Amino acid sequence: MLSSVDNLEERARNIVLRLLEKGPKSSAQLLEVLEANEIPIEIAKPLIERFTEVELINDQVYAQDLADASRRTKGLARSMVKRKLESKGLDRELINQVASEITDEDELAVATELAIKRHGQLSHLESDVRNRRLVGFLQRRGFGSSIVFAAIREAESHAVKS
């Protein structure tokens, strides 16, 4: 017969495996779920460490993939990517490392792509209304004002060429 510790370890392992089947998670997210399922930290931490050793959990890869996906699919700026990574419980040093890989040129390229697409959707509006909406749209994604205005200028010149 299994002891209660063995039973808790088995339960914790099943919880983690079930979550990882659905997609990658950070070690902090997994610890949080285990805690919510009343798994003692003395059981949860070694389990997470073991899963990290065998590379079923890799916070570095998770952070990089999440940052890339956030920029590619949602068009988020560096500041918003950092906020998203923080919400996943990732280490501050890791967040800064991943964010530092996003260059100003990358930011401008993403913002310009978004601005061009949105400019086309707002082409029926007067210029000042369209620009005001573009500014708000890009700022909500975390872009700074210099990038926002450079992206809008590029979108306007692209619209004139089209």
CB atoms near residue 35 (< 10 Å) = 12
d(CA 1, CA 152): 68
Regions in the chain scoring below 70 on pLDDT: 1-3, 162
| pLDDT number for residue 7 | 87
Cβ atoms 106, 81 nearer than 8 A: no
User: Radius of gyration of the chain from Cα atoms?
Assistant: 22
- DSSP code of residue 87: H
Residue type, 78: R
Cβ atoms 78, 111 nearer than 8 A: no
Cβ density class 145-154: b for 16+ within 10 Å, e for less:
eebbbbbbeb
| pLDDT number for residue 3 | 62
